[in-house]
Amino acid sequence: MISTTKKSKNNAIFSSSSPKYIFVTGGVMSGLGKGILSSSISVILQSRGYKVEPIKIDGYLNVDAGTMNPIEHGEVFVLDDGTECDMDLGNYERFLDTSLSNNNSITTGKIMQMVLEKERKGEYLGKTVQMIPHVTGEIKNQIRVAAKKSNADFVVVEIGGTVGDLENQMFIEAAREIHSEEPKNSVAFVHLTLVPIMGVVGEQKSKPTQHSIKELQHMGIRPNIIVARSEKKLEEKIINKIKLFGDVRHVISDPDLKSIYEAPLFFEQEGLMGAIDDILNLTPKKSNLIEWNSFVENLKDGEKTITIAITGKYVELHDAYTSIFESLAHATAKNRVKYNIKWIETTDLTLDATKNALNDVDGIIVPGGFGSRGIEGKIKCITYARENNIPFLGLCYGMQLATIEFARNVCGFEDANTPEVNKNTLHPVIHVMESQKDIKNLGGSMRLGAYPAVIKKDTIVHVLYGKTDVSERHRHRYEVNPDYIDAIESKGLKFSGKSPDGTLMEFLELPTHPFFVATQAHPEFKSRPLLPHPLFNGFVNACAKKIAILQKTAN
């Protein structure tokens, strides 16, 4: 880390060591890929030997993402410390192979809550509390706290939304203030914009980008680097026009790629890091992306293709299951196979429709979720997987539904259910956790974050993990009812992993099945490109073996 003395305009010393700050903003429209751009910058810096700390800023008034509907917001990602956050933090963890914390997630709600708590405690010494300097000061403080705790060389801060959003103005202002307070060559602004292609002739248009740059300049920030999102690489004349009208030296293309994991390699090739070296006055270093490149090549070079069914009620918005299909990408690259996703909407799914939907799949995943909608369809899918020897992986709610399915159809408890769906069930094989019974506030109150589990030896899960002590992330209120465990296990389903005190069922499996495994956890949150999660790796391997068996039979 570079050592300097930093003072603000009121001469307050912040730190004796100075990281570099890279702010990533977006213009024109959201959803252009700021998270992938931020992750790519971070992984390239990391490959050069730097310590990188990513931060995601969201302008919504929610304290965290936990109570937001996936259809509206996308997947809720969970960190080890229980933080429920934006899915971009999942990209940061995957790209950097790291575990983040609450320090890496900032929302307007979180900042306002902190400011108001300080005001109530009298920490502002009788002053009138204002957006500037108190709110912007708290934003800067949170960014610097994360930098200091991580001892980072670089802090990459992604400001969600677009520069024109009302809720982002305080974050843009805080970034401007950090730029004015830090030493020269310590802050870089990377602005991601849209260059649409218009008309049948396919002409690239730079006007939206020009206006977006002007908007940012009006807020006191002159972007150092423009990354232009378009279907194809930018034409030279468009690059020159953006440089001229935007008063910017560095313009980088950001075209469509086959995989998000190609982005670091592409940006490195296009000179993005050279531009950052220039802005931050860095000594150029060679990036080491050899393993990353091998992973990307493996994604492309699968010897066969497997079809995976993902069942759920949010299938119209694939972002709700981002970590699942990224985990599949990691595992299929490891196993040198390609994969297709078949989305199964389980609301009102009939038995015949289930058979028709699943007769050509090689594996079935039942993911997490809440509520009653679609669960009977999911249970039908689990029955199909169990009875037809289709590899099955149940995640969180998927494990609870697998327990219900087995209790109904094998143990004979015909109305087995969870009180989350049917409070009057005679056989609540799933019930609310003891610690959750008196919970009143819904936000941040579930069993959240990383918890340990002990796996039984000589089980499928033990073989997959290669150890007996594991830790996985959770997000749930209900669990398997221990009153039914003996009855269920007597019929062949095994609970192969439990909490250390033996009270909570963490894993189940069907030993007589080619691959029938479920977990109360969310293993998809811990899978990495270069280190696929053991459960997903085992599941994909089982799916690939099924194809091999079928091909051998056909021949």
Provide the annotated active-site residues: 396, 522, 524
Continuous segment of H or E residues that includes residue 453: strand 447-455
Return the structure tokens found at 535. Answer: 């459960």
Per-position DSSP letters for 264-291, written without gaps between them: HHHHHHHTHHHHHHHHHTPPP-----HH
Q: How far apart are CA 91 and CA 422, in angstroms?
A: 37
Q: How far apart are CA 82 and CA 65, in angstroms?
A: 12
Return the structure tokens found at 91. Answer: 């990209």
Give the three-class secondary structure for 155: strand
Q: Is the peptide bond before 70 cis (omega within 30 degrees of 0)?
A: no
Contact 111, 135 (CB under 8 A): yes
Give the three-class secondary structure for 344: strand
Between strands 363-366 and 305-312, the pairing is parallel
CA–CA distance from 478 to each of 122, 210, 444 (Å)? 41, 52, 15
Q: How far apart are CA 392 and CA 96, in angstroms?
A: 29
Between strands 105-107 and 154-159, the pairing is unpaired
Q: At what angle do helices 290-300 and 322-335 cross, to 10 degrees?
A: 90
- For 183-193, give one letter per residue: b (16+ CB within 10 A) or e: eeebbbbbbbb
Contact 123, 115 (CB under 8 A): no
The alpha carbon of residue 497 and the mean position of all alpha carbons in its chain are separated, in whole angstroms, by 25
Question: Which of 85, 76, 77 has the alpha carbon at shortest distance from 104?
Answer: 85
Phi, psi of 367 (to 5 degrees): -85, -175
Q: How far apart are CA 524 and CA 325, in angstroms?
A: 9
The CA-CA-CA angle for residues 268, 56, 368, to 5°, reads 105
Contact 155, 21 (CB under 8 A): yes
